[in-house]
Structures are given as structure tokens and as C-alpha cells.
């Protein structure tokens, strides 16, 4: 009797153990299926994990973002991962249909999404500062000094939450390095005493033309005029510093306005740069074309006409005005 009872107990325990193993194996198999299954989202999704977010917050973030089907999926995944899974803070891009395993890898690795900011050549420092203040992906206020010409226009990559001061400091450091390198490699016999002088001229070149070849020729013209003591007479300098008028059409009366930037009135270079020039314009100012030209004017079609003499220049001006007349425009 006792032997029969013992055998029964052994068989019962064995069956229970087998059942437990089957159930456990089924759970792990199900969990692994959850980990490897495609996500429910059809498009890329940006997920933000903030400092101090715990697992409860993260699972709700993933659920609200539509990248997991049920909250317990995340719990099962992190329990299986154990101490090897440590979520990082940041903004993460979850690819379309990414599995939970892939999502966990992204969050654990801390591969934050890289955002793009393009600063257009010729923008003023005030315009760049306003654009960064308006961009909600940056944090903090702007406390750094934004001197005109101190920022290098190009495309920058950053992560959400980058401070505005840090972003602007990067732009300033890149401009300083670019100007320093261009100054070292500058052409001989230039009419500049300092790198800042070259930067001022580069800002004028930037607003005179966007054509690479013309930039070099424009730089050569301005260098020739500076060497001869001639006024630069550059239209982009006329309205700089005139509050509220920097974008309107220049009138004849503006050419006589006395400011520290109007190169129709002052001799030499303006007081400061008039915009943030590109690296190409900086290089043009420091390695200008060798030319005998002293004048240039718009051809009315997006390009410039250059001239060595005033008579030739006046003919080019008449051609420009003829193009304006035919287009229904009048010289103010």
C-alpha cells in the first residue's frame, strides 16, 4: 500500500514538473515571439525618453507612440533582458514595423535621433538667433553675444534638447576656424590689416552674388578699389543699420544716407560685417581673382557685367536699365 502511494506521488510530482516546464516553455516561446514580431506602426516614430523616466513611464510612451501593442509586452521584454537592458534618455527614431527587440536595442544603445538645421548664407546674426529661438527642439535662452559675421552658415546636426547657447557656440567656433585657416592661406598683397577686415569684405561679397566664379571676380574688383582708395559703392551696404528697411528696394536718396556701413558715403570698409558670409565668400575675399576690373553691375538676368573703365561701366548700366524698362521696372 505504501509503495503504491509512493509511486503515485512520484508520478504526480513528475507530471506537475512536466506541466510546469511546458507552461514555462510556452511563456518563454510566447515572449520571444512578442520580441521578434513586427511592430504595429507603419511609419517612423520619434520617441522621447526624458531624464528620470522609469519603466512605467517608458512603456506608456511606447504604447502612446504606437510602437507596441500592449503594455505588458514591454514588461516581459525588460524582465527577459534583465540587467543587460539599461534605457537611455534622448529622442529615438523607431523605424517602421520595428520589432520590440529592435526598439529595446535602440533605447539601450542611446542612439538619439539627429535633427538638421540649415543656416542660409547671408543671414544676419539677428535672423539666425530668431530662427533658433523659434525652434522648439532647442532648450534654454540665448545668452551668448551674437556679433554680426560671427556665425558660419552651413548645415548642422543636433539632438533634441541641445541648448541654444551650445548650438550658437558651435557656429562661432566653426567660423573662427574657417577664417583662421583661410587667413593663413591668403593671397599676398591684400589691402587687409586683420582677418576681421577680410570677414567684412566677405560679407559684402556674399550679398553681391551667389555665383562661385563671380564671387572671385567681385572680390578682385573690391580689392582693386580698396588699393586705389576708391569707395566700394556696394548696394548691400546701403540699408544695413537702417531700422526696418533692410529688405526694401534701394532708392536714390538712400545712396546719400550717412551711416557707418554705406559704402557710397564712406571710404574703405564698413564698421562691421553686414551678414554672416559662407566659407566660399571668405575664401574669395582672401584669394580673389587677379583682374583689372574696377566696376560691375547687374545684367538684369541674375548675373553681373564687369568693366575696367567708367565709360564701359556706364554702358553696362544703360544695358541694365534697358532690361529693367522692358520688364516694367523703374529706377527709383
Angle at 319 between CA 317 and CA 324, to 5 degrees: 95
62 and 103 part of one domain? yes
Q: How far from chain centre, in Å, is Cα 70?
A: 38
Classified as helix, coil or strand, 93 is strand
315 and 192 part of one domain? yes
* DSSP designation for 73: H
Among 134, 155, 175, the domain boundary falls at 175
307 and 252 part of one domain? yes
Domain CATH number, residue 65 = 3.30.1490.480
Predicted pLDDT of residue 244: 58
Give residue-wise pLDDT tens across range 296-311. 999 888 899 999 999 9
More confident residue, 293 or 84: 293
60 and 70 part of one domain? yes
Predicted pLDDT of residue 77: 83
The three cell numbers of residue 63 are 504604447
Asked whether residue 194 is assigned to any structural domain, the reply reads yes
Predicted pLDDT of residue 204: 97
pLDDT over threshold 80, residue 31:
no
Predicted pLDDT of residue 32: 62
Asked whether residue 8 is assigned to any structural domain, the reply reads no
Predicted pLDDT of residue 276: 98
pLDDT over threshold 70, residue 7:
no
pLDDT over threshold 50, residue 207:
yes
Asked whether residue 103 is assigned to any structural domain, the reply reads yes
Asked whether residue 278 is assigned to any structural domain, the reply reads yes
The three cell numbers of residue 287 are 584669394
207 and 318 part of one domain? yes
The three cell numbers of residue 274 are 553686414
Among 96, 113, 130, the domain boundary falls at 113
Predicted pLDDT of residue 213: 87
Q: Are 97 and 38 in contact (CB under 8 A)?
A: yes
Q: Report the domain count for the chain.
A: 3
More confident residue, 8 or 241: 241
Predicted pLDDT of residue 241: 79
Give residue-wise pLDDT tens across range 242-261. 765 556 778 888 888 889 99
Among 141, 175, 209, the domain boundary falls at 175
Asked whether residue 33 is assigned to any structural domain, the reply reads no
127 and 109 part of one domain? no
Closest CA to 44 of 115, 92, 93, 113: 93
136 and 101 part of one domain? no
194 and 163 part of one domain? no
The three cell numbers of residue 10 are 512520484
Give residue-wise pLDDT tens across range 48-95. 988 888 899 998 988 898 988 888 888 888 888 788 889 888 888 888
pLDDT over threshold 70, residue 18:
no
Instruction: Average the pLDDT over 130-151 and give the result.
Output: 96
Instruction: Average the pLDDT over 40-53 and give the result.
Output: 87
pLDDT over threshold 50, residue 15:
no
More confident residue, 161 or 21: 161
pLDDT over threshold 90, residue 116:
yes
Q: How far apart are the C-alpha atoms of 203 and 219, rounded to whole Å?
A: 11
Q: How far apart are the C-alpha atoms of 48 and 107, rounded to whole Å?
A: 10
The predicted model scores a pTM of 0.78
Asked whether residue 14 is assigned to any structural domain, the reply reads no
Average pLDDT score over the chain:
87
Predicted pLDDT of residue 98: 86
Q: How far apart are the C-alpha atoms of 95 and 38, rounded to whole Å?
A: 11
Asked whether residue 244 is assigned to any structural domain, the reply reads yes
Expressed as residue numbers, the domain containing 141 is: 115-175
83 and 163 part of one domain? no
Asked whether residue 45 is assigned to any structural domain, the reply reads yes
Amino acid at each position: 500500500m505504501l509503495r503504491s502511494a509512493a509511486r503515485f506521488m512520484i508520478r504526480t510530482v513528475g507530471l506537475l514538473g512536466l506541466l510546469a516546464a511546458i507552461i514555462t516553455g510556452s511563456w518563454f516561446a510566447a515572449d520571444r515571439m512578442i520580441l521578434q514580431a513586427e511592430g504595429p506602426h507603419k511609419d517612423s516614430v520619434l520617441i522621447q525618453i526624458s531624464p528620470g523616466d522609469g519603466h512605467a513611464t517608458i512603456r506608456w510612451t511606447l504604447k502612446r507612440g504606437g510602437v507596441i501593442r500592449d503594455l505588458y509586452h514591454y514588461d516581459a521584454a525588460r524582465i527577459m533582458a534583465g540587467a543587460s537592458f539599461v534605457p537611455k534618455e534622448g529622442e529615438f527614431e523607431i523605424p517602421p514595423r520595428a520589432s520590440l527587440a529592435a526598439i529595446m536595442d535602440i533605447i539601450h544603445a542611446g542612439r538619439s535621433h539627429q535633427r538638421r538645421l540649415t543656416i542660409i548664407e547671408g543671414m544676419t546674426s539677428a535672423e539666425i538667433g530668431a530662427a533658433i529661438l523659434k525652434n522648439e527642439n532647442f532648450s534654454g535662452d540665448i545668452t551668448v553675444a551674437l556679433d554680426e559675421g560671427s556665425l558660419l552658415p552651413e548645415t548642422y546636426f543636433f539632438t533634441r534638447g541641445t541648448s541654444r547657447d551650445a548650438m550658437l557656440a558651435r557656429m562661432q567656433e566653426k567660423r573662427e576656424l574657417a577664417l583662421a585657416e583661410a587667413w593663413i592661406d591668403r593671397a599676398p598683397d591684400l589691402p587687409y590689416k586683420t582677418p576681421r577686415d577680410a570677414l567684412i569684405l566677405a560679407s559684402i561679397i556674399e550679398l553681391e552674388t551667389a555665383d562661385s566664379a563671380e564671387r572671385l571676380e567681385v572680390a578682385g574688383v573690391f580689392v582693386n578699389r580698396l588699393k586705389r582708395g576708391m569707395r566700394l559703392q556696394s548696394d548691400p551696404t546701403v540699408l544695413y543699420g537702417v531700422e526696418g528697411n533692410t529688405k526694401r528696394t534701394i532708392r536714390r536718396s538712400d545712396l546719400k544716407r550717412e551711416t557707418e556701413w554705406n559704402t557710397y558715403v564712406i571710404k574703405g570698409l564698413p564698421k562691421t560685417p553686414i551678414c554672416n558670409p559662407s566659407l566660399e565668400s571668405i575664401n574669395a575675399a582672401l584669394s580673389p581673382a587677379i583682374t583689372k576690373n574696377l566696376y560691375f553691375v547687374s545684367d538684369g538676368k541674375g548675373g553681373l557685367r564687369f568693366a575696367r573703365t567708367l565709360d564701359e561701366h556706364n554702358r553696362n548700366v544703360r544695358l541694365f536699365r534697358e532690361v529693367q524698362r522692358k520688364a516694367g521696372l523703374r529706377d527709383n
